[in-house]
Amino acid sequence: MKERPTFPARLDFTVGKPKASRPATGHAHSVLSQGGRPPVGVLSQGVGLDSSAVRMNMVHKLAGQGITDPLVLAAMRTIERHRFVDSALVNQAYEDTSLPIGLGQTISKPGVVSRMAELLRNGASGRLGRVLEIGTGCGYQAAVLSLLAQEVYSIERLRGLHDKARENLRHLRLANLHLLFGDGMAGYAKGAPYAAIIAAAGGESVPQAWVDQLAMGGRLVAPVSAGATAAGQQALVVIDKTPQGIRQTVLEAVHFVPLKSGIA
């Protein structure tokens, strides 16, 4: 691909540059040429400036795909997606693709994260109030949401991913993001009512608990299978809770991991 980000190449360049804080032995160079990829410690030192340029490129593409909400674009520019994926996948972190995050789950494509965030915000001028996310996964979308809302509650049913998200998010110190371990099918009543609810896993229908926990005037965005499109296909569904009742809109087809019951 012609447009492939210059991320890995620039990364190598940065890492290879002598730095005052490292002994100028050429050690970093030899590690690089053997492994083809800098070790994680070196990566996190060298990646700063360069990854922001690659992220900016990603944001331009998102804008080109029709994302217009300035807060969403700013959040996508700010949160470093490469910190949420396995080091072996770092050079794909800013491509518009979902990537494995372990335990059979995936981090959503930036295009889908920003699309859902924009739908969720529904043109709000400032930050949303309280938001509930079902399916923390690696924590990337939760981090994005934390910049778009006053409080974010994110729930994950797999202990391994809940722990991984905590680890991934530690450096960001997002005081308004609350990670919960549990079955998100039941929502999280203690944080209700929510201005917005977003699901990162798709079920046959939207659990009633989510609709119940939505504030009046609130919006829910979720991938849903049954009845939405042809059998077995998922589509994004938007549910608005209005004084006149529940309004449901079915949007484009999507591919999310399944919403499952219980914890593991």
Residue 135 binds ligand SAH (CB under 6 A): yes
Binding ligand SAH (rule: CB under 6 A), the pick from 14, 51, 91, 105 is 105
* Cβ 245 to ligand SAH shortest distance, Å: 26
| Region of residue 138 (phi > 0: left; psi between -120 and 50: alpha; otherwise: beta) | alpha
Number of residues engaging ligand SAH in binding (CB under 6 A): 24
Binding ligand SAH (rule: CB under 6 A), the pick from 11, 101, 148, 195 is 101
Name the segment binding ligand SAH (CB under 6 A); options: 18-26, 49-57, 105-113, 119-127: 105-113
Integer Rg of the chain from CA: 20
Clarify whether 108 is annotated catalytic: yes
Residue 109 binds ligand SAH (CB under 6 A): no
Residue 148 binds ligand SAH (CB under 6 A): no
Residue 185 binds ligand SAH (CB under 6 A): yes
Q: Which of residues 21-50 bind ligand SAH (CB under 6 A)?
A: none
Residue 140 binds ligand SAH (CB under 6 A): yes
Residue 31 or 238 having the CB closest to ligand SAH: 238
Residue 155 binds ligand SAH (CB under 6 A): yes
Residue 156 binds ligand SAH (CB under 6 A): yes
- Nearest residue to 133 via CA among 222, 55, 217, 208: 222
Q: Which of 30, 51, 98, 108 is catalytic?
A: 108
* Cβ 9 to ligand SAH shortest distance, Å: 27
Name the segment binding ligand SAH (CB under 6 A); options: 2-10, 27-35, 39-47, 254-262: 254-262
Q: What is the DSSP string of the chain?
A: -TT--SHHHHHHHHHHS--TTS-SSSHHHHHHHHHSS--HHHHHHH-HHHHHHHHHHHHHHHHHTT---HHHHHHHHHS-GGGGS-GGGGGGTTSS--EEEETTEEEPPHHHHHHHHHHHHTT-SS-EEEEEEE--TTSHHHHHHHTTEEEEEEEES-HHHHHHHHHHHGGG--TTEEEEES-GGG--GGGPSEEEEEESSBBSS--HHHHHHEEEEEEEEEEE-TTTSSTT-EEEEEEEEETTEEEEEEEEEE--PBP--S--
Residue 108 binds ligand SAH (CB under 6 A): yes
Residue 107 binds ligand SAH (CB under 6 A): yes
The footprint of ligand SAH (CB under 6 A) covers 101, 105-108, 134-135, 137-138, 140-141, 155-158, 161, 183-185, 200-201, 257, 259-260
